[in-house]
Chain A
Amino acid sequence: MIHRIAVERRGEEGRIVRIYNLETAGEIDVSKLDRLFCNPLKERLVEVMPAGKFTEVMYHNGVVDPEQEQIIKGCRAYGIQIEAAKVGHRYYGVARKQVIFNKLVHVMFTEEPKIETLKPRGVRRGMEVFDLTAMFDDELVQLSKERQLGLNLEQMCKLVEFQKALDLPVVTDVMLEVFGAKWSDHCVHTTWRSLELFPLLKGATESIQHPLLVSAFVDNAGGWRLWDGYVAAFKLETHNSPTAKEPYGGQLTKFGGVIRDILGMGKGAHPCGNLEMTALGEFERIRYPQLEEYTLPGRVIARETIRAVKDYGNPMGIPMLSARMISHPCFTGKPFALGGTLGIVKEEHALKGTPNVGDLMVLVGGRTGNDGLHGATISSGELHEQVDTGDASHVQIGNPYTEQKMVPASRELKEQRTIRAVTDCGAAGILMAGSELGEATGGKGGAIMNLAAVPLKCAGLENWQILLSESQERMIYAVVPDQLQTFEAICLKYELECTVIGIYNDSGEFTVVYDPETSLYDTHMPLSGEVCLRVPYEYFEQCPLPQFPVNIPEVAEHKLDIPVTLDNVAAMALKVVSHFDVCDQSAATTQYDSTVQGKTVRGPLYGVNYNIPTHLSAVYADYGTPFGLTVSWSYSPPQFESDPAKAAINAMLDAIVTQILGGVSLDEICLADNFYTPNKDPYGYYWLKQQVQAIAQYSQELGTPFITGKDSSSGSATYGSTTVNVLPSVAITALGRHPNLSKLTPHQWQGVGNKLVLIAWRGAVPSLDGSILSSSLGISGNSLSTIDPFSAKLRFRSLEEMIKTGIVRSAVPVNRGGLIMRLFEGVEASGFGVETGLCRELFPEFMGCGLVEIEPHDMGQLYEFFDPKFHVVEVGTITQNKGITVQEQPLPLALLRQAWQATFRKEVM
């Protein structure tokens, strides 16, 4: 029996009605539930629905409403037993335009719905089979295309070989889908492997032999040793294709995924901080107006990003440490959706485990549905309008509530020693998680997985869909068999569903069955039910790699010359502060909880008005530890537009110097790389190689290892006749360990009369190429300034020593926006003023350099570390009167502030 309880919230009268659909076995006294669904001070029960046209949206019958569990629980508290529940929203008038509808999971009504049941219904289709050996080449290619496998002819031919070698009359659709996912760029990094890039970066890390390194590139996240047995977990992830298609879902699950990477690091780390950076087009320059009919406007992506980051990050209870949006026309086709999470784990649990023979494969968390299918293959391919409209299912649906409960549960599961290994279900779902975990079991690897045991939230899923679904909030644990009861009890305590879905063995094979009759698992159990897949583990490694052209571009040097004088300095300053990349974005940032867990030392903003973006964020490792983690990142599209290789170096120097300015030693910093490479730019692979070579060299010579990273090599999108390539670029994030965060160097200016000093590289003032000013003016040169690694290391060491003396009262890096931006932020953050004798030098970006505040009587000590002739530029003096004076000429501070605050509000909010 279906009951519908309609409620209007105060303030939404006549516009939105919430309808709680409840299914019961028989009659109930609905009035008993009045107080559950209606607090008279906030809501009103609707007896008669408002008249007029409406649109009603709810989850369709194939999908369980995420709120069902809570509503059943609430009803039970009032003595009413409910079998199923779904929440509908009915919109009237202008509110109909605000309807959020995802055809993958929602159903829409414009007339009174006739609901027979709320329980999932559907019919499961059997497996399809194919005789690949009987197919011609063009048929193989066609099959790959039709099923969106993303496999080329050579790879399909390899599957023909496998079919013959296994002596199979036919192969199943499961086998095709498995290899489509396993051999996707997303999962095996075909681009990087083909270009032989991994050895460069990993080789540099290995050669450093850093004593703080716990793990690099082998686990879900990198591990960096702190003190007292604590290890920091470090991971950043991109979610570009899903965000282009459906920004809310894409950004939501970006965080879901990267947080699970931390939960799956070692035997489970505790997430302690999030990082957010999204680059999207095109607020600064309109380059692709013809794409408006194909792509979502930047404003929509930006708003949906904010909504998603807030809706996932806040309920997770993980503080946001840094958040920024950036704009460049090259992201019009596909945004750069970067998100990161830091974690903490004790050293005894910091290394990845391997299941023993006989360990149970246990799936924990959310149920499996039809969301996220083909996520691995689609994110590895080019985005175009056919994918855009034809396959919406690659976008996942997130529910942070389930994942949040995993955080405390994860802690207990490992402390009670119930598990041998863990990993998260990300791309290609339980296929990748379940198979990867068992690849070394017993020396040969081996696992049997039973799809019939997997709890589903959608009815009628086919076998390959269960296996590849990228439904969120799921982890796979290898559970010690005699600890299963304890494991289940912990999951029950946190109301997490857990199910044994298989077993690890040493067969050397990965086997998938569908057998509803099997619930007991044995190492060498006879296979029963439908055998969907049975292949040697070694087959997964035999992916024929595609070849990628490395074309060398012809570059004619062009250096920008923008005359900045006292006559135009105010206008130029206005251009800089109002640029989207550096403007006031606190309206978004303050929507993210930055203090939860109570260990945040410096969050995403600072200053007397709490609206200035932080360069270096910090959290304590634990309650009572003086030490903690510091994090900084660098990514500036104008730099990559100017010279992709030098920009990669500059990003690295910038992220590192930010740490050193905060008081972190060069020896205590590690790095993450997140590459974004266009796959249709003829020179994209050349620049990728140049970038990897450059950062590997600097990493080695500076002694700062890369310990985690991600390569997104599908940064091209074609719509109609237009192809948009992202800039060949890499975001660099630095993680440091700080011995005593109470001594973290402040960003905020400390005292009137103090000197502001730029610690610069030796040589001429950098060019304006790659600067925010050049981007504002819409011009770009390719003569980007940088410095050799030897000199950089010398300067970093001197800076580090100077910081240790305690003479530096505050410090910021001179990155995006240059000195003029730092002076403006300094004034706004402190309420003081500044007088500077510089003018033209205020606009270039001194990447890798710092602006430090020194008391006048300490200047002599500063000169002991830096030669005043070559490395010290006296920028100005902090004054009592709030304002910026350039060579005795005051800049219009109120106008600058207005411009700085207006951009984001105008473009996004």
Chain B
Amino acid sequence: MAPLVNILYFPGTQCEQETKAAFELAGFDARIVFVEQLLSRKVRITDCAVCHVPGGFSEMDSIDVGRISAAVARDELPKLKEQGIPTGFTCNGFQIGVEAELFGPNIALVRNDVGTFVSRPVKHKIVSPFENVRCIWTDGLEGEIYEFPAAHGSGKLVGVPGKIVCPNTVMLYEGKSPNGGEIAGITDDSGLFFGLMDHWERPWDNPAGQAILANLKKHL
């Protein structure tokens, strides 16, 4: 049976359909789950093999990117970690994940250095985390260079001054960074979470995205 993916939808999410199509192409069974369904206990966030928080402008980026969505789902998202559900966070989904401190308390995503939204193709290189963590999404793809687009205004990953931004880096920008930072994608200490600002699901059948999903499927 195909592994089930919960694709979370917050009001303002806009990448749920292409994410669903990409997962389905890779052999997953994907469904869209409204956050309201989680809050009203109609659906359990952990009733799935994989969870994904896609991109968009959830809750109109009010106060700051991802802030309101992280607040609304503050009791739900940690359950994924508790239950060990592999979870992907893309673009605004990554901003929600970082705001919810699912990748630790000491990182943030700030405005791109150029000060504007940037939409263009970008190259990414898969790397091993510095620490002894194996990311279920990228483990075994180290050294691969993948091209897929960036489309964000606040995607520069920063940490506490004077410290390594994130030891769990799994993807670096190869060539020109869209946001001024070096880090494109990270995992958490468990290696189950995978966050990045750019869009492996664009186009929906992007071979890079499919390679990552095939890798994930292999590790499930």
Chain A residues with CB under 8 Å of chain B are 10-11, 20, 36-37, 39, 41-43, 66-67, 70-71, 73-74, 77-78, 310, 314-317, 320, 399-401, 404-405, 493-495, 590-601, 605, 610, 620, 623-624
Q: Is the CB of A600 within 8 A of B67?
A: no
Interface SS of chain B: mixed
Taking a contact as CB atoms closer than 8 A, the residue among B17, B117, B202 that contacts A600 in the complex is: B202
Name B37's closest neighbour in chain A (CB-CB): A493
Q: Is the CB of A598 within 8 A of B204?
A: yes
Alpha-carbon separation in the docked complex, A66 to B60 (Å): 9
Taking a contact as CB atoms closer than 8 A, the residue among B25, B71, B199 that contacts A78 in the complex is: B71
Alpha-carbon separation in the docked complex, A666 to B149 (Å): 33
Interface residues on B, range: 35 or more
Q: Is the CB of A590 within 8 A of B12?
A: no
Q: Is the CB of B59 within 8 A of A592?
A: no
Known: A10-B110, A39-B67, A77-B71. A595 touches B204 (CB 8 A): no
Q: Is the CB of B160 within 8 A of A41?
A: yes
Alpha-carbon separation in the docked complex, A591 to B115 (Å): 10
With most chain B CB atoms within 10 A of its CB, the pick from A77, A605, A610 is: A77
Minimum CB–CB distance from A195 to chain B (whole Å) comes to: 42
Alpha-carbon separation in the docked complex, A842 to B48 (Å): 62
B residues 149-188 in Cβ contact with A at 8 Å: 149, 151, 158-160
With most chain B CB atoms within 10 A of its CB, the pick from A36, A39, A591, A594 is: A39
Known: A74-B71, A493-B34, A623-B21. A595 touches B119 (CB 8 A): yes
Name B109's closest neighbour in chain A (CB-CB): A42
Known: A41-B106, A41-B160, A310-B117. A596 touches B71 (CB 8 A): no
Q: Is the CB of B64 within 8 A of A39?
A: yes
Name B151's closest neighbour in chain A (CB-CB): A593
Name B66's closest neighbour in chain A (CB-CB): A39
- B108 — which chain A residues lie within 8 A by C-beta? 39, 41-42
Name A587's closest neighbour in chain B (CB-CB): B116
- B56 — which chain A residues lie within 8 A by C-beta? 317
B residues 32-76 in Cβ contact with A at 8 Å: 34, 36, 55-57, 59-64, 67-68, 71-72, 74
Known: A591-B116, A623-B18. A315 touches B204 (CB 8 A): no
B residues 92-114 in Cβ contact with A at 8 Å: 99, 106-108, 110-111
Name B18's closest neighbour in chain A (CB-CB): A598
Interface flags, B137-153, vs A, CB<8A=1, else 0:
00000000000010100
Name B10's closest neighbour in chain A (CB-CB): A495
Alpha-carbon separation in the docked complex, A685 to B18 (Å): 48
- B11 — which chain A residues lie within 8 A by C-beta? 401, 405, 494-495
Alpha-carbon separation in the docked complex, A43 to B111 (Å): 13
Alpha-carbon separation in the docked complex, A362 to B201 (Å): 36
Top 5 A-B pairs ranked by shortest CB distance? A317-B14, A598-B18, A70-B62, A598-B204, A41-B108
- B57 — which chain A residues lie within 8 A by C-beta? 314-315, 317, 400-401, 404
- A610 — which chain B residues lie within 8 A by C-beta? 120-121
- B61 — which chain A residues lie within 8 A by C-beta? 315
- A73 — which chain B residues lie within 8 A by C-beta? 59, 68, 71-72
Name A65's closest neighbour in chain B (CB-CB): B62
With most chain B CB atoms within 10 A of its CB, the pick from A36, A66, A592 is: A36
- A77 — which chain B residues lie within 8 A by C-beta? 68, 71-72, 74
The contact sample of 6 A-B pairs, CB cut-off 8 A, is A78-B71, A401-B60, A595-B203, A596-B14, A596-B202, A597-B18
B15 within 8 A of A: yes
- A495 — which chain B residues lie within 8 A by C-beta? 11
B22 within 8 A of A: yes
Q: Is the CB of B18 within 8 A of A67?
A: no
- B71 — which chain A residues lie within 8 A by C-beta? 36, 73-74, 77-78
Alpha-carbon separation in the docked complex, A23 to B36 (Å): 25
- B211 — which chain A residues lie within 8 A by C-beta? none
Q: Is the CB of B60 within 8 A of A67?
A: yes
Chain B residues with CB under 8 Å of chain A are 11-12, 14-15, 17-18, 21-22, 25, 34, 36, 55-57, 59-64, 67-68, 71-72, 74, 99, 106-108, 110-111, 116-121, 149, 151, 158-160, 199, 201-206
Taking a contact as CB atoms closer than 8 A, the residue among B12, B120, B203 that contacts A598 in the complex is: B203
- A597 — which chain B residues lie within 8 A by C-beta? 14-15, 17-18
Minimum CB–CB distance from B120 to chain A (whole Å) comes to: 5
Minimum CB–CB distance from B107 to chain A (whole Å) comes to: 7
Name B159's closest neighbour in chain A (CB-CB): A41
Q: Is the CB of A41 within 8 A of B203?
A: no
- B117 — which chain A residues lie within 8 A by C-beta? 310, 314, 591-593
- A494 — which chain B residues lie within 8 A by C-beta? 11
Q: Is the CB of A70 within 8 A of B118?
A: no
- A315 — which chain B residues lie within 8 A by C-beta? 12, 14, 57, 60-61
Other than the given A42-B108, A66-B60, 8 more pairs (CB < 8 A) read A36-B67, A404-B12, A591-B118, A594-B149, A596-B55, A596-B202, A597-B14, A598-B199
Alpha-carbon separation in the docked complex, A320 to B22 (Å): 21
Q: Is the CB of B204 within 8 A of A623?
A: yes
Minimum CB–CB distance from A35 to chain B (whole Å) comes to: 8
Minimum CB–CB distance from A162 to chain B (whole Å) comes to: 45
Alpha-carbon separation in the docked complex, A20 to B106 (Å): 25
- A39 — which chain B residues lie within 8 A by C-beta? 64, 67, 99, 108
- A66 — which chain B residues lie within 8 A by C-beta? 60
Q: Is the CB of A598 within 8 A of B22?
A: yes
Minimum CB–CB distance from B203 to chain A (whole Å) comes to: 5
Known: A73-B72, A317-B14, A404-B12. A590 touches B119 (CB 8 A): yes
Minimum CB–CB distance from B1 to chain A (whole Å) comes to: 22
Name A586's closest neighbour in chain B (CB-CB): B120
Name B160's closest neighbour in chain A (CB-CB): A41
Name A598's closest neighbour in chain B (CB-CB): B18
Q: Is the CB of A596 within 8 A of B204?
A: no
Q: Is the CB of B119 within 8 A of A599?
A: no
Known: A595-B149, A598-B18, A610-B121. A70 touches B59 (CB 8 A): yes
Q: Is the CB of B121 within 8 A of A41?
A: no
Name A66's closest neighbour in chain B (CB-CB): B60
Alpha-carbon separation in the docked complex, A595 to B151 (Å): 8
Alpha-carbon separation in the docked complex, A73 to B63 (Å): 12
